[in-house]
């Protein structure tokens, strides 16, 4: 790993590398899916460094209110540098510390896959919605629909075995429409919809992609020693070559699935 990346915290790596490469493009998409508009109160669950919360804040304007919640205080430290208008709070998705019917919209992007209890998180997110409020939760689509990452997963499997490869595959675990709808049914969310949206991963080079993934605490962080990392770098160029342009920049599709639901459509016991 480069000295520059290794000197930074995981949250700083996430903000400086993952956000522009993957996540920046999704903030406005998820906010729109939730129908976020002027004057609304919005909760961003698993807000990370604040990509979606910032997009929501632009849409609600000065009359609205956005709260960003995350379990990781280091992520929140980075988020707090971005905006003082947004209220940044530490907390768990499975136990939201807000009264019933507190928000007009509850949103979350690319955190749901890592929740300890996904059904409890959905139940809590619906609980804090006001009547008529909307939920929008984005997850990575299946690995097969992201060819560059699929190639990297195959390479990790070949070089280091199933344990390392499965750690990398973890963010794609919910890339299945029927599974998402089944999760929504357990807490009694009726009328949920799942839509696929196109997205693109962009890195400056193959080396940048590999170094960033190695630094990611959610997947490969801590799993590869220096010798393994050097081996991965040597093998990655040919494996990911099809996704690199003449300038060395890497780009490939990484679509997302977005679950949406409205409080008024929740089934009553």
pLDDT, residue 127, reads 97
pTM: 0.92
- The residue ranges of every structural domain in the chain are 3-264
Work out the percent of the chain whose per-residue pLDDT is above 70: 94
pLDDT, residue 100, reads 97
* CATH class of the structural domain 3-264: alpha beta
Question: Contacts for 36-40 with beta carbons within 8 Å, 24 or more apart?
Answer: 36/60, 36/104, 36/105, 36/107, 38/63, 38/64, 39/63, 39/64, 40/64, 40/65, 40/103, 40/104, 40/105
Task: Report pLDDT digits (tens) over 16-36.
Answer: 888 999 999 999 999 999 999
Gap between the Cα atoms of 19 and 49, Å rounded: 9
Task: Report pLDDT digits (tens) over 109-152.
Answer: 999 999 999 999 999 999 999 999 999 999 999 999 999 999 99
């Amino acid at each position: 790993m480069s000295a520059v990346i290794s000197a930074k915290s995981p949250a700083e790596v996430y903000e400086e590398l993952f956000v522009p490469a993957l996540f920046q493009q999704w903030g406005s998409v998820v906010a729109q899916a939730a129908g976020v508009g002027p004057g609304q109160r919005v909760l961003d669950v698993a807000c990370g460094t604040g990509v979606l919360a910032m997009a929501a804040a632009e849409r609600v304007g000065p009359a609205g209110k956005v709260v960003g919640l995350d379990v990781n205080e280091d992520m929140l430290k980075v988020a707090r540098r971005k905006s003082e208008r947004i209220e940044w709070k530490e907390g768990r998705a499975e136990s939201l510390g807000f009264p019933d019917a507190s928000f007009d919209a509850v949103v979350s992007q690319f955190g749901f896959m890592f929740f300890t209890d996904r059904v409890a998180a959905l139940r809590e997110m619906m609980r804090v919605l006001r009547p008529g409020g909307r939920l929008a939760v984005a997850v990575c689509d299946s690995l097969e629909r992201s060819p560059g990452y699929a190639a990297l997963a195959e390479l990790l499997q070949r070089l280091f075995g199933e344990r390392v490869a499965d750690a990398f595959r973890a963010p794609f675990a919910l890339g299945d429409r029927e599974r998402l709808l089944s999760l929504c049914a357990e807490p009694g969310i009726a009328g949920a919809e799942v839509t696929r949206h196109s997205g693109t991963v962009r890195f400056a080079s193959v080396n940048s992609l590999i170094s960033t993934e190695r630094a990611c605490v959610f997947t490969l962080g801590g799993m590869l020693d220096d010798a393994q990392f050097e081996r991965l770098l040597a093998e990655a160029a040919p494996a990911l070559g099809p996704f690199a342009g003449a300038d060395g920049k890497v780009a490939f599709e990484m679509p997302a699935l977005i679950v949406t639901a409205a409080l008024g459509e929740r089934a009553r016991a």
